[in-house]
Every structure is written in structure tokens, then in C-alpha cells.
Amino acid sequence: MTKLAVLAAIALTACSSSVDAFSTSGRVTSQHASSTSLNLFGSKPKDPNSASDAPQQPGMMDQLAMFKKAQEIASKKADIDKELAEEKIVGTSADGKIEVTVQYIPPQMPANPTPGYEASDVNIDADYLAGVSPEDLSTALVEAIRAGEQKAAERVGEKYKSLEADIQGIMGGMAAPGGAPPQ
């Protein structure tokens, strides 16, 4: 029980920076109030004595605006994913004699957060099929599938570029995708 009381005392002193002493009644006494509260409609009120270049923290209204912008971006992403899922992207090999249609499969959050690609149709030229060895046919099919997936990935990248600017705007230009600083 003594260890629990010591841990509770440590936790209380660690959580409250304005606590100076404990009274015998178990009440916490404070000598001064915290000056870090935010204004509901914006950042902290400016102190005329402070430096004018001091960074201001976002207020509640700024945070609500950021949340609304994040919802708009999520809605745009869902629309882009739906549009991409409806597109048919074709990969070819063997000089166009094999065509594989690839479809984009959007991520299914949170169970499967990674997008995927699915080969939905295969067309093989009949003359080519009659004269090709099984090994060459297998190699050509793999090449066509990879070409289709590469085209689909490029298409997804192009479509997502429109979201990049929106995300940069909400992040305040803090960093480019991949963690690199903006240029």
C-alpha cells in the first residue's frame, strides 16, 4: 500500500507543473495558475510585452478547420479510389500478342491497408498461342501482368498527385511526402 501511495504522489507531481505542496487533508494547493490555456476562437491572446515573432498555437477554430479539411481530403481520396477501381488498364507483351487487363483494388481500411492490383482479363492471339512453347507463354504472361501492374501503379500515382497539394496545405508545408523537406 505504501508503494501505491508513493507512485500516486509521483504521478500527481509529474502531471501537474503548478503543484507546490500537499496539505495534510490530501488536497493539492497551488500558488499560481497556468498561463498556457488557448483562446476558443484562435491562438493565444498576444502579450504586448512578448516578441512578435513568437510562434502561436492553433486555437479550437483552427483545429476544427483542419479537421474539416482532412475530411475533405479523405472524401477526395475515396472518389479517386472509386474512379481508379473502375478503370481497365492493359499490360502487353510478346509484341502485343498477349494483353492482360489489370484493375486497381483500393485499400480496405483497417483490415487491408495496402492497395492491390488484380488481373481481370487475359487475351492471347490465337496464332501466337498455336506456335509458342509453354515456357515462352508463361514468361510472356508474367511480363504482361507486370507491365499492367506498372501502368496501374503509375496511373494511381498520377491521380494521387492532386491530393499531395491538399495534404501539404493542411500540414502547413512542413514536409514533403517521404519525409523530405519542401523545396
**141: domain CATH number?**
3.30.1310.10
Please report the pLDDT score of residue 34 as a whole number.
Answer: 46
Is residue 129 domain-resident? yes
| Beta-strand runs (E) in the chain | 19-22, 28-30, 89-93, 98-105, 116-124
DSSP summary character for residue 44: P
User: What residue type is 77 in one-letter code?
Assistant: K
Is residue 88 domain-resident? yes
User: What residue type is 124 in one-letter code?
Assistant: I
What is the tally of structural domains in the chain? 1
Is residue 8 domain-resident? no
Q: For residue range 33-77, what is the model confidence (pLDDT) as tens digits?
A: 444 454 555 555 555 565 555 555 556 667 788 888 889 988 999
Is residue 80 domain-resident? yes
Is residue 164 domain-resident? yes
Is residue 68 domain-resident? yes
Nearest to 120 by CA among 87, 156, 94: 87
* Distance of alpha carbon 147 from the chain centroid: 27
Is residue 93 domain-resident? yes
**Domain of residue 87, residue span:** 60-168
Q: For residue range 156-176, what is the model confidence (pLDDT) as tens digits?
A: 999 998 888 878 877 765 545
What mean pLDDT is reported for the chain? 75
Is residue 117 domain-resident? yes
Q: For residue range 102-138, what is the model confidence (pLDDT) as tens digits?
A: 999 998 878 888 889 999 999 999 999 999 999 999 9
What is the value of pTM for the model shown?
0.58
Please report the pLDDT score of residue 110 as a whole number.
Answer: 81
Please tell me the distance from the alpha carbon of residue 9 to that of residue 83, in angstroms, as a whole number: 57
* Preceding omega of 110 cis (within 30 degrees of 0): yes
Please tell me the distance from the alpha carbon of residue 7 to that of residue 60, in angstroms, as a whole number: 34
Please report the pLDDT score of residue 164 as a whole number.
Answer: 86
